[in-house]
Amino acid sequence: MRMPEIIADTQLQAALLSLPAWKLEQGELTRTVVFQDFKQAMGFVNRVAELAEAKGHHPDIDIRYNKVRLGLVTHDAGGITEKDLRLAQEIERN
Amino acid sequence: MRMPEIIADTQLQAALLSLPAWKLEQGELTRTVVFQDFKQAMGFVNRVAELAEAKGHHPDIDIRYNKVRLGLVTHDAGGITEKDLRLAQEIERN
């Protein structure tokens, strides 16, 4: 399989316009979501996990009671690629 | 409800003898578990989440593909308490 290419910074900034809940943080595409409680947070984590498995691309997931932080980066490519953007878009649709 | 007391360091070291998979890290009781893949890691996370809900005490959970890090501390008490030890023991039994 072709290694996905790292997205240039200007392109990334443009892509972020359609992903307002996401931001760039230490070389990762991140989103933090706050829920009412842990149970709802876990519901979200499981939905994200299902999408991640379907795409074969897995975000870093940090759970802090009702708060979930997702971090997307393509480790093999050493940066943010189309795989990350596509998964972020997929998560937004769900 | 009575605020649980922070466990003294000597007591904590003694308690850790029966929790060999756990260690003290930056004021938290932590355990990192490596699984075969993301799916198995998520299975573990969901078992921990169920125990956490049952106990009303929730670890920090960091998921990195097949690796899960749990962090236990009683934020209200400002340290590690019986609640953390009991949850760690419960996780070990499962």
Do residues B83 and B41 lie in contact, with contact meaning Cβ atoms separated by under 8 Å?
A: no
What's the Rg (C-alpha) of chain B? Answer: 13
Binary contact (A60, B62; C-beta < 8 A): yes
Mutation site, A32, A42, A55, interface B, largest B CB count within 10 A: A42
- Residue A89 backbone zone (phi > 0: left; psi -120 to 50: alpha; other: beta): alpha
CATH 3.30.1360.20 fits A9-93, yes or no: yes
- Shortest CB distance from A60 goes to which of B49, B53, B64? B64
Binary contact (B49, A42; C-beta < 8 A): yes
Q: Which pLDDT value is given to residue A4? A: 85
DSSP assignment letter at B79:
B
pLDDT in tens, A62-84: 999 999 999 999 999 999 999 99
Q: Which residue of B has its CA nearest to A66?
A: B58
pLDDT in tens, B17-69: 999 999 999 999 999 999 999 999 999 999 999 999 999 999 999 999 999 99
Give residue limits of the domains in chain A. 9-93
Specify the pTM. 0.95
Do residues A84 and A73 lie in contact, with contact meaning Cβ atoms separated by under 8 Å?
A: yes
CA distance B36 to chain A (A): 14
